[in-house]
Amino acid sequence: MADERYNRKNPAVKRILQEVKEMQATPSDDFMSLPLEENIFEWQFAIRGPGDTEFEGGIYHGRIQLPADYPFKPPSFMLLTPNGRFETNTKICLSISNYHPEH
């Protein structure tokens, strides 16, 4: 994954590699996420639908795109699995404010 293509002194790369290490050290039964081997700035994830909900038994796949200046700018998320809540293949707004610099 993190071979010579990535500058390990780059703050974003260092942070991403640390997060991969932490996630591998504490796996979850309900969530998993890893960067693509060819691009550590793009991750795939899967979330298990919560029990006692209409989503129970479902596995929901998505994509996380980390910006080059991560963690100083937030990642973008999109779900790839139809889920009844979010449009597939469309960025999900996770902001707690109304500020959207792209508008």
Instruction: Provide the annotated active-site residues.
Output: 93
* Cα(52)–Cα(60) distance, integer angstroms: 16
Neighbours of 43 (CB within 10 A): 21
Spatial neighbors of 71 by CB under 8 A, at least 6 apart, are: 12, 15
